[in-house]
Amino acid sequence: MEITLGFSPCPNDTFIFDALVHHKIDTKGLTFNVEYHDVETLNEKAFNNKLDITKLSYHAFAYAVQKYELLDAGSALGFGVGPLLITKNEELAAELKEYAGDHLPVALQDLRVGIPGKYTTANFLLGLAFPALQNKQELVFSDIEQALLDNNIDLGLIIHENRFTYQDKGLFKVVDLGDFWERTTNNPIPLGGIVVKRELPVEVKLLVNQLIKESVEYAFANPKSGIEYIRSHAQEMEDSVMYKHIDLYVNQYSIHLGADGRSAVETMFKKALSAGLIPQFHTNIFLT
């Protein structure tokens, strides 16, 4: 049986899926046709029901939950893994730090913010910490640092490997939005998950979940096995940054969400609903 599978070319995703897509584990007769896209493109494909299985932002999942269920394996959750709000202006960074979670003065509300996509979890967290920042420009996540350097935006919302490179470019952190989430909820931050079409047979969905779990376990047991595959999709990323990326985003929650992971996801949706950041829905979230 052939199944379409979408995930990003980022090291955490290629690390997770290497054993699966290269048949280093027994896929039990399933063949995966892989598409590589940035997270916001994957979000859009999920909205349009284009892929059988896909990585997406947890924020975006609220808009695709009628068509997809969340797998227990493959997620990116954790502590200290959240997106960062940064700026080129050190004085502005110091000033804005004082207002995270509080009312933002009118004089600061029209700052131009580069975001990696409307439906990213990063943008959801920005909405919780600074709801008054509405002058947003959607950019490919890898272009945000340069947009700051070119003075095209005042603030940048960065994810992925940019967490490790912004300081080298003379940019300054305003707030770690993952830390903001952790302090206010005591939960790990749910960034991205793997979802499967509800219409697929139950036995196929359960098998896919098991195979992704086995793929992650294989990667942990053989961390160098997929290095060329990971490197080939990491563009010009240095190996040290690539490994930091994997270490940051792949952990026990990637093997299985567990009770803590599920609680964090449910907390996110409850907060998002109460803040008016996602539509109301009544569908069960998790694959059962």
Q: Which residues are annotated as a binding site for substrate?
A: 55-57, 121-122
- Of 90, 138, 137, the closest CA to residue 117 belongs to 138
Distance, CA of 24 to chain centre? 26
- Of 54, 2, 6, 51, the closest CA to residue 29 belongs to 2
SS3 201: coil
Residue 211 contacts by C-beta under 8 Å, 6 or more apart in sequence? 20, 25, 27, 28, 30
Q: In what order do the strands lie in the sheet with 155-158?
A: 136-138, 113-115, 155-158, 84-87, 172-176
- Round to whole Å and give the CA distance between 42 and 36: 8
Residue length of the chain:
288
Determine which one of 37, 160, 245, 282 is catalytic: 160
- Round to whole Å and give the CA distance between 111 and 64: 31
Does residue 23 carry a catalytic annotation?
A: no
Asked whether 38 and 141 are in contact (CB, 8 A), the reply is yes
Asked whether 125 and 178 are in contact (CB, 8 A), the reply is yes
Asked whether 86 and 141 are in contact (CB, 8 A), the reply is no
* Residue 107: both structure tokens together: 């004089």
Residue whose tokens read 């939950």: 65
* Residue 54: both structure tokens together: 């896909």
Residues belonging to the active site: 160
